[in-house]
Structure 1
Amino acid sequence: MTSLTAFTVVVVLVGLERLAELVVSKRNAAWSFERGGTESGRGHYPFMVVLHSGFLVAMLVEAWVRRPDVAPGLTWSMLALVVASQALRWWCIVTLGPRWNTRVIIVPGLAPVRSGPYRLIPHPNYVAVVVEGAALPLVHASWLTALVFTLANAALLRVRIRVENEALATLPRVSADA
């Protein structure tokens, strides 16, 4: 198997993982809405979907069109970061349990989660997104995708984190595990 084919397999696997996330997210959003949850930030959500979907396609197009020479050290170090970002992402999902979804939905009366990775940093899932956004394309030296996605995602995260912080500020301050 060529490195380009292996990279394509990795990106397809990440895409399948994203589909699994969407299944979990849909189920969890329903859970939140059943408990009176309200959604904030609907305006930026379509852009987020397009950006993250385009990210997967763009790195494959770049890799297949440019066909860069890739140093094995770059591949393996970036792949390690991708795996670490996936582990962090799923730690966030498991920690939030039914409260995790890809939207900003707040259930009234539930205190913010302060356990798991949330006891260490305020938005650990976004750390995973940032790391993966830079590392995954660089597994096969798709540096243009890494750069463009990182810049576009930074703009998106400015909006997303503001919306999320405003929504979380409406919750009680008492610490909760999940």
Structure 2
Amino acid sequence: MSLFWAVFVFLIFQRLVELRIAKRNEIWMKQQGAIEFGKEHYGLMVAMHIAFFVSLMLEVILFKDTANQYWPVILGLFIITQAFRVWIIKSLQRYWNTKILVIPNAKVIKSGPYRWMKHPNYLVVTVELLLIPLLFNAYLTLCLFFVLNQIILSIRIPQEEAILSQWTEYGTEFEEHARFIPSLSKKE
């Protein structure tokens, strides 16, 4: 199996596992009284991620691109990114989800990478949308989906932060944290 198909199958399997975890967590959170927000853009986000995989596959197949000449380095960065993703999911535990679900007055989690930044999960997705196409010289996919992801995040992140601030102590707990750049402030 080529490197492309190995990575592609891994990613599809990983996303299916994540969706299963998210659904299980969603059921638990709603049993705890969680409220769902962001339905109006969630479908767009899902469609963008599906289109990313289709675009990646088509670009690699149609242009018969091979792995980037620096593929070992890029693949290493990708593996580190996946370890970071697992750390994020383990840190949030039952609160990790692909949807915006908020349990009113729930304690805000500030463990794992959340000790230093507000949105490590969005950082991981953004880095992936750069590394995966770069790994296979799929530059059209890289440019298009990097821009689309930024558009969606420009809608989702402010909405998520406003909702969390309204329903939890998020605003107070994360006031000194940057969105994506780790904050090493003394106040923990």
Query: Are positions 1:89 and 2:85 aligned together?
Result: yes
SS in 2 for 1:72: coil
The whole-number CA distance in structure 2 between the counterparts of 1:151 and 1:138 is 15
Query: Are positions 1:37 and 2:3 aligned together?
Result: no
Judged with a 3 Å threshold, the aligned counterparts in structure 2 of structure 1 residues 123 and 71 are, in CA distance, closer, same or farther, namely: closer
Judged with a 3 Å threshold, the aligned counterparts in structure 2 of structure 1 residues 66 and 39 are, in CA distance, closer, same or farther, namely: same
Equivalent positions of 1:127-138 (< 5 A) are 127-138=123-134
Matched to 1:150, the amino acid is: F
Equivalent positions of 1:138-157 (< 5 A) are 138-157=134-153
Give a deviation string over 1:36-72, Cα, whole Å, max 9, x none: 1001111110011111111112111101111135443
1:46 to 29, 35, 43: 43
1:101 to 92, 97, 104: 97
Matched to 1:108, the amino acid is: P
Equivalent positions of 1:109-124 (< 5 A) are 109-124=105-120
Q: How far off is 1:158 after superposition?
A: 0.7
CA contact (8 A) 1:8 1:60 kept: no
Q: How far off is 1:114 after superposition?
A: 1.1
CA contact (8 A) 2:3 2:67 kept: no
The whole-number CA distance in structure 1 between the counterparts of 2:13 and 2:66 is 27
- The structure with higher relative contact order (CA 8 Å, sep 6+) is 1
The whole-number CA distance in structure 1 between the counterparts of 2:38 and 2:68 is 41
The whole-number CA distance in structure 2 between the counterparts of 1:8 and 1:16 is 12
CA contact (8 A) 2:4 2:67 kept: no
SS in 2 for 1:23: helix
Query: Are positions 1:160 and 2:156 aligned together?
Result: yes
Count of matched residue positions in the alignment of Structure 1 and Structure 2: 171
Structure 1 ranges of 4+ moved more than 4 A: none
The whole-number CA distance in structure 2 between the counterparts of 1:80 and 1:147 is 21
Q: How far off is 1:11 after superposition?
A: 1.1
CA contact (8 A) 1:41 1:160 kept: yes
CA contact (8 A) 1:81 1:131 kept: no
CA contact (8 A) 1:91 1:116 kept: yes
Give a deviation string over 1:11-42, Cα, whole Å, max 9, x none: 11111100000000000001110011001111
Percentage of pairs with the same residue: 34
Matched to 1:7, the amino acid is: F
